[in-house]
Amino acid sequence: MSLSKFWQIISSLMPMKGFSEEESRRLSSLNPKKIYIENVRSILSVSHGSAKRICETAVRQGFFTCYIEFKSPEGTVVAVAPAEKLGEIPKIVHYSKETEDGFFEEVESPTESLTKTTFYSLNDRSNTSTFARTA
Protein backbone atom coordinates (compact mmCIF):
# COMPACT_ATOMS: atom_id res chain seq x y z
CA MET A 1 0.00 0.00 0.00
CA SER A 2 1.30 3.44 -0.83
CA LEU A 3 2.30 5.96 1.81
CA SER A 4 -0.26 8.44 0.44
CA LYS A 5 -3.05 5.90 0.93
CA PHE A 6 -1.83 5.34 4.50
CA TRP A 7 -2.04 9.13 5.14
CA GLN A 8 -5.56 9.26 3.67
CA ILE A 9 -6.74 6.45 5.94
CA ILE A 10 -5.28 7.96 9.11
CA SER A 11 -6.51 11.46 8.15
CA SER A 12 -10.04 10.21 7.56
CA LEU A 13 -10.10 8.69 11.06
CA MET A 14 -8.77 11.78 12.83
CA PRO A 15 -11.16 14.22 14.48
CA MET A 16 -8.92 17.14 13.44
CA LYS A 17 -7.73 18.64 10.19
CA GLY A 18 -4.42 17.60 8.71
CA PHE A 19 -1.10 16.81 10.32
CA SER A 20 1.75 19.03 11.33
CA GLU A 21 5.09 18.50 9.65
CA GLU A 22 6.38 16.78 12.80
CA GLU A 23 3.35 14.47 13.01
CA SER A 24 3.77 13.60 9.33
CA ARG A 25 7.44 12.79 9.85
CA ARG A 26 6.70 10.62 12.88
CA LEU A 27 3.79 8.83 11.17
CA SER A 28 6.00 8.02 8.20
CA SER A 29 8.42 6.29 10.57
CA LEU A 30 5.78 3.74 11.62
CA ASN A 31 5.93 0.20 10.32
CA PRO A 32 2.51 -0.23 8.61
CA LYS A 33 2.62 -3.94 9.45
CA LYS A 34 2.97 -3.28 13.23
CA ILE A 35 1.09 -0.22 14.43
CA TYR A 36 0.92 -0.04 18.23
CA ILE A 37 -1.69 2.03 20.08
CA GLU A 38 1.05 3.76 22.07
CA ASN A 39 2.72 4.95 18.84
CA VAL A 40 -0.55 6.39 17.53
CA ARG A 41 -1.22 8.02 20.92
CA SER A 42 2.22 9.57 21.10
CA ILE A 43 2.38 10.81 17.51
CA LEU A 44 -1.10 12.31 17.47
CA SER A 45 -0.98 13.62 21.07
CA VAL A 46 -4.26 11.95 21.97
CA SER A 47 -5.30 9.80 24.91
CA HIS A 48 -4.81 6.04 24.94
CA GLY A 49 -8.58 5.63 24.58
CA SER A 50 -8.71 7.95 21.55
CA ALA A 51 -5.80 6.17 19.88
CA LYS A 52 -7.48 2.82 20.48
CA ARG A 53 -10.78 4.12 19.04
CA ILE A 54 -8.94 5.37 15.94
CA CYS A 55 -7.35 1.95 15.42
CA GLU A 56 -10.58 0.04 16.13
CA THR A 57 -12.46 2.30 13.70
CA ALA A 58 -9.85 1.45 11.07
CA VAL A 59 -10.46 -2.27 11.80
CA ARG A 60 -14.25 -1.88 11.43
CA GLN A 61 -13.78 -0.02 8.14
CA GLY A 62 -11.44 -2.72 6.85
CA PHE A 63 -8.24 -0.64 6.79
CA PHE A 64 -6.48 -2.39 9.70
CA THR A 65 -6.39 -5.94 11.05
CA CYS A 66 -5.99 -6.38 14.80
CA TYR A 67 -3.40 -8.87 16.11
CA ILE A 68 -2.25 -10.02 19.52
CA GLU A 69 1.41 -10.88 20.07
CA PHE A 70 2.67 -12.98 22.95
CA LYS A 71 6.07 -12.18 24.44
CA SER A 72 8.33 -14.33 26.58
CA PRO A 73 9.68 -12.97 29.89
CA GLU A 74 12.84 -12.04 27.92
CA GLY A 75 10.75 -9.84 25.57
CA THR A 76 10.90 -12.08 22.50
CA VAL A 77 7.71 -12.43 20.45
CA VAL A 78 6.91 -16.16 20.56
CA ALA A 79 3.42 -16.23 19.00
CA VAL A 80 1.12 -13.93 17.01
CA ALA A 81 -2.56 -14.38 16.22
CA PRO A 82 -5.29 -12.30 14.59
CA ALA A 83 -7.52 -11.03 17.41
CA GLU A 84 -10.55 -12.86 16.01
CA LYS A 85 -8.64 -16.18 16.23
CA LEU A 86 -7.28 -15.65 19.73
CA GLY A 87 -9.09 -18.75 20.99
CA GLU A 88 -7.06 -20.90 18.58
CA ILE A 89 -3.72 -20.15 20.27
CA PRO A 90 -2.41 -23.30 22.00
CA LYS A 91 -2.49 -23.40 25.80
CA ILE A 92 1.27 -24.11 25.82
CA VAL A 93 3.81 -22.31 23.61
CA HIS A 94 7.25 -23.73 22.80
CA TYR A 95 10.12 -21.40 21.94
CA SER A 96 13.91 -21.21 22.10
CA LYS A 97 15.72 -19.17 24.72
CA GLU A 98 19.41 -18.31 24.76
CA THR A 99 21.23 -19.52 27.85
CA GLU A 100 24.02 -17.65 29.64
CA ASP A 101 26.64 -19.73 27.83
CA GLY A 102 25.26 -18.76 24.39
CA PHE A 103 23.40 -21.98 23.60
CA PHE A 104 19.69 -22.29 23.00
CA GLU A 105 17.28 -24.37 24.99
CA GLU A 106 13.64 -25.13 24.31
CA VAL A 107 11.24 -23.53 26.75
CA GLU A 108 7.62 -24.43 27.35
CA SER A 109 5.32 -21.71 28.73
CA PRO A 110 1.60 -21.52 29.36
CA THR A 111 0.17 -18.95 26.96
CA GLU A 112 -1.72 -17.24 29.79
CA SER A 113 1.59 -16.45 31.55
CA LEU A 114 3.01 -14.55 28.54
CA THR A 115 2.73 -10.80 28.06
CA LYS A 116 0.08 -9.91 25.46
CA THR A 117 0.30 -6.80 23.28
CA THR A 118 -2.25 -5.60 20.73
CA PHE A 119 -1.05 -4.21 17.43
CA TYR A 120 -2.60 -3.38 14.09
CA SER A 121 -1.52 -4.05 10.54
CA LEU A 122 -2.46 -1.89 7.59
CA ASN A 123 -4.43 -3.95 5.07
CA ASP A 124 -3.49 -3.86 1.41
CA ARG A 125 -6.74 -2.78 -0.17
CA SER A 126 -5.21 -2.03 -3.56
CA ASN A 127 -7.21 -4.88 -5.08
CA THR A 128 -10.58 -3.55 -3.96
CA SER A 129 -12.62 -1.19 -6.05
CA THR A 130 -13.69 2.13 -4.57
CA PHE A 131 -16.31 2.77 -7.25
CA ALA A 132 -19.86 1.45 -7.27
CA ARG A 133 -21.44 0.10 -10.42
CA THR A 134 -24.29 2.31 -11.59
CA ALA A 135 -25.64 0.45 -14.61
Q: Are 55 and 116 in contact (CB under 8 A)?
A: no
Rounded distance between C-alpha atoms, residue 51 and residue 42, angstroms: 9
Query: How does pLDDT run across 46-75, given as a tens digit for each residue?
Result: 899 999 998 998 899 888 999 999 999 989
Map residue 55 onto helix, strand or coil: helix
pTM here? 0.73
Q: Are 83 and 68 in contact (CB under 8 A)?
A: yes
Query: How does pLDDT run across 104-135, given as a tens digit for each residue?
Result: 999 999 999 999 999 999 887 644 334 333 33
**What is the per-residue pLDDT for 6?**
61
Run of H or E residues at 73: none
**What is the per-residue pLDDT for 13?**
63
